[in-house]
Amino acid sequence: MKLLENKLAIITGATRGIGRGIAVEFAKQGANIAFTFSSSVDAAIALEKELTNLGVKAKGYQSNAADFDAAQALAKEVLKEFGTIDILVNNAGITKDNLLMRITEEDFDKVIEVNLKSVFNLTKAVIRPMMKQRSGSIINMSSIVGLKGNAGQTNYAASKAGIVGFSKSVALELGSRNIRSNVVAPGFIETEMTTKLDEATVQNWRDGIPLKRGGQPIDIANACVFLASDMSSYITGQTLSVDGGMLT
């Protein structure tokens, strides 16, 4: 028996990196997938095909998670297409790093909008159908940067810390309706973005991690499968750090 058999998951920002890893693993566990992407149409078509080949129903939606009305429209379309929304993974995110002395107001606002407001937008869009069916699992992607801070990332850290407080509040509000809200906080995860970095820098980061390696998208995906499935039916309002022991 697959852990997510016949469930429908909405995953935002799923065409690459962690989001893509989550989408593939969810499909392997039997979930139908509605995923969003902002601009990479070719990558979306390829992902749609890969997920469908795993024997599930999958559809990509070009949608801006940071736009309130677009999030509402997305939930309506997904409900019409799939008939249910069981899982929401708020994964879409960006960085615009700079020291506080140099960061612009625009770069601060943009990161808060894409990383934090999108979580509000999508969560608000799915809770009505979830309340109706009296079940649902919401998984919000934070970061260890949101838990410990990081120089040069005040905007990113604020957005990711905000996700933790938001998720705990949602857990308190919707627990009586059997809707769970949890957070995954990835550490250093090796994706196509990190391959552009200098190998010596990456190795230096690995050496500072107790498990002596960077994480892979599958490490995050496995944590999300657990939180999306009935295996975690008595877990809500929690933050699971998947970081190789970085915060220990």
CA 139 – CA 125 distance, rounded (Å): 14
CA 108 – CA 99 distance, rounded (Å): 11
Token pair for 163 = 């996700």
CA 224 – CA 227 distance, rounded (Å): 5
What are the residue ranges of helices labelled H in 96-248? 105-112, 118-133, 144-148, 154-174, 199-207, 217-228
Token pair for 38 = 């902002």
3-state secondary structure of 115: helix
3-state secondary structure of 55: coil
Cα 71 to Cα 46, 55, 117, 118, 209: the distances in Å are: 23, 27, 11, 8, 37
Annotated catalytic, 234? no
Q: For residue 134, with 0-12 CB atoms within 10 Å meaning exposed, 13-18 middle and 19 or more buried, which class applies?
A: exposed
Residue 41 near residue 64, CB atoms below 8 Å: no
Name the catalytic one among 82, 108, 156, 166: 156
Cα 121 to Cα 38, 80, 118, 133, 205: the distances in Å are: 15, 19, 5, 20, 34
Residues taking part in catalysis: 156
